[in-house]
Structures are given as structure tokens and as C-alpha cells.
Copies of this chain bind each other. A is one copy, B any other.
Amino acid sequence: MNPLYDIIAFDADDTLWHNEVLYTATEAKFKELLGKYQPAKIVERKLHQVEIRNLQYFGYGIKGFTFSMIETAIELTEGQIRGADIQRIIDYAREMLEADVQLFDHVEGTLAYLSQSFRLMLVTKGDLLDQEMKIARSGVGDYFSQVEVLSDKTRESYTGLLAKFDLQPARFMMVGNSLKSDILPVVELGGCAVYIPYENTWAHENDTASGGGYFELEHIGLLPEFIDGQRKMRTV
């Protein structure tokens, strides 16, 4: 039996690879597209309102974001926007879905090292097909014995995940960049959580204050040393 964790689980978007930058870049193109109708500030504010409103219907991910761009475009032009411009928005979606997956520094080495001693799991939220395609393109999929895509990451969904694989919270570690999605629900359940902040994390993700009880690392390359440190403390 492994001395510390049965599973070390990783968030993917903005923990293993860049994701938010794709949305930021697309949003910039979108603001330019609507520039002849509305100033960028108005477009930005409206888009974020529509995104929040649409989460319950369309969930997290590129497809939901794209519907929100289309609806924003229609609302801000009072229905006058033409199909050709809507097509450009859908083309943005296809470009996002096909974009290269850019791993952060140290990801491959960290996963290679930890997978020698631990079962690794990938736990993402968002769109199933999109996440599967990114994992396939990332080149690091083989380090994970399990990939779980959740529609949202809440205390309930982590409870379900732990039950599904018959895991004790105290033997489960979650590593991620979102306090709301990766860290706080796991801490509440009695798991171990390692927070690796990402500077561009989406505003909506960070609307929950930290309750403490988790660890924080500056980058993922520090994780092996951190876990080795935990191991030594336990065996002393």
C-alpha cells in the first residue's frame, strides 16, 4: 500500500495546460467584431452577464461560451447582426476546439515522477468531447489511470467521485488552480488539496473566499518535492 494517497487527482485547464488565454484571445476578437456596434467595455460586460445566465443551460466549456457570444452579439445589435458575422463566431469555436494544447513548464516531469508511486487521475469540468480531445492532444494522457469529466465541481460531485472509486477522503489529493472548484470542496470533505494559482483565472471562479486548510505552491514543478516532504514527515 502506498504510504500517503490512493489517488492524486489533477485539474486540467490552467493547471496542466493553458486554457483561459484561449478564451481571452477569442474575447478580444469578438470585441473587435462587435466594434462597429458597441465599445469593447460594453461588449465585455454584457458577455459576462450572458455567460453567467447561460451556465445552467449550456454549462462550462467552449460550446456554452460560443452560445453566449452569439446571444451577446444579437442583443447588443438588437437583432440586426448578420448571419455572416455569426458564422465568424462559430468559426472562433472551431479554432478554439482545434487549438494546440500548451502544457505549463514542469508538467510532464511532475507527472512522470509521481506516476511511478501513485495512481493519478484527471478531474476536469466542462464539455466531455472537448476535454477528451485536449487530453488526447496533450501527450500526457497515459500518466493517468482515470479521467473523469464532471459537469461541475462541487462538494456533491466530489462525494460522488470518491464513492465511485471507493476512496477515503484522507487518502485523496486534489491539485488545481481554482479555489472554488478544486480546493475548497475537497478540503470540506477532508481531502488534501494543493492550490497552484493561475494569474488569469476567470473572475467567476474566484468568488469564494478561502477557508484555509489547503496547501499552496507557486508552480506544479514544486509538487514532487512537496509530496516527498510529506512522506518523510509521516515516516519519521
Contact = CB atoms under 8 A, between A and B. Distances in A.
Contacts of A98: 57
A72 to B, nearest CB: 11
> Chain A at the B interface: mostly helix, strand, loop or mixed?
helix
Contacts of A73: 83
A223 to B, nearest CB: 25
Interface in A129-171: 129, 132, 146, 149-151, 164
Interface string A84-99: 1011001001100110
A44 interface: no
A234 interface: no
Given A80-B83, A83-B77, A128 B70 contact: no
A231 B129 CA distance: 38
A214 interface: no
B83 A81 contact: yes
A64 B67 CA distance: 11
Contacts of A74: 83-84, 86-87
Given A79-B83, A83-B86, A57 B128 contact: no
A67 B63 contact: yes
Nearest to A147: B160
Given A71-B87, A128-B149, 11 more contacts: A58-B63, A59-B127, A63-B64, A63-B67, A79-B87, A80-B82, A82-B82, A83-B86, A128-B150, A132-B151, A146-B164
Interface of A: 57-59, 63-64, 66-67, 70-71, 73-74, 77, 79-84, 86-87, 90, 93-94, 97-98, 127-129, 132, 146, 149-151, 164
14 contacts: A57-B97, A58-B129, A66-B67, A67-B93, A74-B84, A79-B82, A81-B82, A81-B83, A81-B86, A82-B83, A127-B127, A128-B150, A129-B151, A132-B151
